[in-house]
Structure 1
Amino acid sequence: MSSVAEPPVPELEPAFEVDAELGPLEDHGQTSVGHRRIIPVVGGTITGMFEGELLAGGADWQVVRADGSIALDARYSARGADGELVFISARGVRSGDPEVLEALLRGEEVDPSRYYFRTAITIESSTRPELEHSIFVGSCIREANRVRYIAYRVT
């Protein structure tokens, strides 16, 4: 008689927090894949299992879907105090009632419980394999000129 093991149930461990400063939205209009917008990352901080500064030069490449929800593809780098670099990729979705999404676009303060904003995060690092050996999920808040999120390591 053989027993079949059950896969472990994932849990979430707080791992790090990001505070990304954003530049002006670049509206590329309707393209073959949808309404393209690009929001530059111009700086910010990361704290927790990796401490550092976000570097200018990254961005969030967005596609606004027909229903108003937004497919997000953010990629940016951070430099630690010791000079170490990490590359962060965060793909996700922001959705909510149209008036809420429009308020966010205008830079208004909106209670984060009124919209859904989550990302799946992966990290590349030449010196921190523990960052590469995990998947992270982010619970995010959009503010006028920044995005803040807490990343949780999926166990």
Structure 2
Amino acid sequence: MTHAPTVPTLEPAFDVVVDLGPPADHGRTRAGHRRIIPIVGGAVSGGLDAEILAGGADWQLVRDDGAIEVDGRYSARTPEGELLYLQVRGIRTGPVDVLAALLAGDDVAPDRYYFRTVITIETDAAALAHFEHAVFVASCIRDADAVRYSAYRVT
């Protein structure tokens, strides 16, 4: 018997605000134009409540077409003291003038660019282990000094 794959759906999971420090522009490396944006704090709310800890970063590659490959990694701590490690990978792209405005820190409406990520979570906390057994996708917004996103569990 042949079965068809289940069609995934999206369930709202949690919301995130990641506070950012000033970027370090490493220029053109062998991998491409490298930028490292420090993560200085933030919060997770909704289906998961946690404080984002300073010390993470987004290791970005700015492609020749202006699109940015996102590779963010950071830790968060729940009110109970449980730690989570989040890795966020994705892409931010759009018209050249919009991407330039985002890089300059201008306020740009999120419908003018594409910013989507995949989030994976690691934890030693038994009560949060279900976050390790799911794939999450997010629709993101870039503010001047923060990234905001709503994460959805892919069923």
Counterpart of 1:147 in structure 2 is 147
Code of the aligned partner of 1:139: S
TM-score by length of 1: 0.97
Alignment of 1:1-155 (within 5 A): 3-127=1-125, 128-155=128-155
Structure 1 distance, partners of 2:93, 2:26, is 20
CA displacement, residues 85-116 of structure 1 (integer Å, 9 cap, x when unaligned): 00000000000011101101111100100100
Whichever residue aligns with residue 130 of structure 2, its letter is E
Residue 19 of structure 1, CA deviation: 0.4
Amino acid aligned to 1:136: F
Structure 2 residue runs without a partner (length 5+): none
CA apart distance, 1:129? 1.3
SS in 1 for 2:98: helix
Query: Which letter maps to 1:145?
Result: D
Query: How many Å separate the matches in 1 of 2:49 and 2:63?
Result: 34
Look up the SS of the partner of 2:44 in the other structure.
strand
Structure 1: runs of 5+ lacking an equivalent: none
2:131 partner SS: helix
Amino acid at match of 2:112: R
Instruction: Give aligned pairs, total.
Output: 153
Deviation digits for residues 31-76 of structure 1, max 9, x if unmatched? 0010000001100100122201000000000000111101110000
Q: Identical aligned pairs, as a percentage?
A: 58
Q: Where does structure 1 differ by over 2 angstroms across 4 or more consecutive aligned residues?
A: none
CA RMSD of aligned residues (A): 0.6
2-structure distance, mates of 1:135, 1:126:
18
